[in-house]
Amino acid sequence: MPQWAMLNTFRLKPALAMLLLVAAIGPVVAVAEAADTIIVQSTTSTQNSGLYGHILPIYAGDTGHVVKVVAAGTGQAIKNARNCDGDVLLVHSKADEEAFVAAGRGLARQDVMYNDFVIIGPGDDPAEVEAAATIADALKRIATSRSKFVSRGDDSGTHKAEHRFWAKTNIDPTGDSGTWYIETGQGMGGTLNVAVQLDGYVISDRSTWLTFGNRFNHRILFEGDAALFNQYGVIVVNPAACPSVKLEPAQAFAHWLTSAKGQAAINSYRVNGQQLFFGNAE
């Protein structure tokens, strides 16, 4: 072999060794990053309102951990977590959350924050909902006038709350489904769009409404009843039920949400000057 060829061969060997080293450690680095990445099964309102876009960069800055959010209705989010498709559950249907923990699918549930539900309707308010004294009174006025009422119909936390409110009236609107009572099977944003298009009433969490753009002449017509209180909770999925759970980073995220830093981050999120969520972790 010519001397120059031998020289080039020796020069290539360190470069080749470096390439092999990178190839060897690359997967290790990727695994290390994945080990800190958790999946949060979440209600849609926290996603649609922009809350995660506000708090997750703060969390990443504090911890270096990455959080991926899968947003669905509360019922679907709980099913996903039950199927081990996530590490943390953040939803707003306390009875279902407590049942999830009682069944051994999640560790302890903790309050994180709250806001409230409101009734949105057309500006001219044909059912005179604005004059109602209670949520039951408001819904009775809608049913009596047979004004259009648009329901999510998707087993979400908001849909479950709507069922509780209708139960106070002794009226089952689902018997009139497809007439004045319209079930969309969609998320909150899509359901609000249908309500606006049909000039109908709809129950929404306040945070989604405040960030909703296609309002036309719709506005908040009923609010303030104590029954409209909307509590959110966080649960780490139980690794005994789901061995794939990344317990340490999942617990770190739940702890941060309920810590002074997390609560301050939640409370600092505002849209057009209005606070959307109010931290109330113990």
> What's the pLDDT tens digit per position in 163-174?
999 999 999 999
Rounded mean pLDDT of 99-118? 98
Class of the CATH-defined domain 33-115+231-279: alpha beta
- Report the pLDDT averaged over residues 253-266: 98
pLDDT digits (tens, 9 = 90+) for 196-243: 999 999 999 999 999 998 899 999 999 999 999 999 999 999 999 999
The pTM score is: 0.85
> Is it true that 33-115+231-279 and 116-228 share their CATH fold?
yes
22 pLDDT exceeds 60? no
pLDDT of residue 213: 87
Looking at the domain 116-228, which fold is it?
D-Maltodextrin-Binding Protein; domain 2 (3.40.190)
pLDDT interval class at 123 (50, 70, 90): very high
Q: Do the bridges between strand 88-91 and strand 37-42 make them parallel or antiparallel, or are there none, so unpaired?
A: parallel
Q: 178 and 149 in contact (C-beta within 8 Å)?
A: no
Domain boundaries defined on the chain = 33-115+231-279, 116-228
274 - beta bridge partners? Answer: 271
CB count, 10 Å around CB of 213? 7
> Looking at residue 164, what is its pLDDT?
96
- The pairing of beta strand 229-237 with beta strand 106-122: antiparallel
| Rounded-to-integer distance, Cα 49 and Cα 66, Å | 20
Residue 107 has pLDDT above 80, yes or no: yes
pLDDT digits (tens, 9 = 90+) for 40-89: 999 999 998 999 999 999 999 999 999 999 999 999 999 999 999 999 99
Q: Which two tokens stand for residue 44?
A: 């849609």
The residues that bridge with 119 in the sheet, in sequence order, are 203, 222
Q: Give residue-wise pLDDT tens across range 2-17.
A: 433 433 433 334 444 4
How far apart are the C-alpha atoms of 199 and 125, rounded to whole Å?
A: 10
Tally Cβ neighbours within 10 Å of residue 230: 20
Q: Residue 194 is inside which H or E element, if any?
A: helix 188-198
The pLDDT of residue 221 is: 98
Q: What is the pLDDT of residue 34?
A: 57
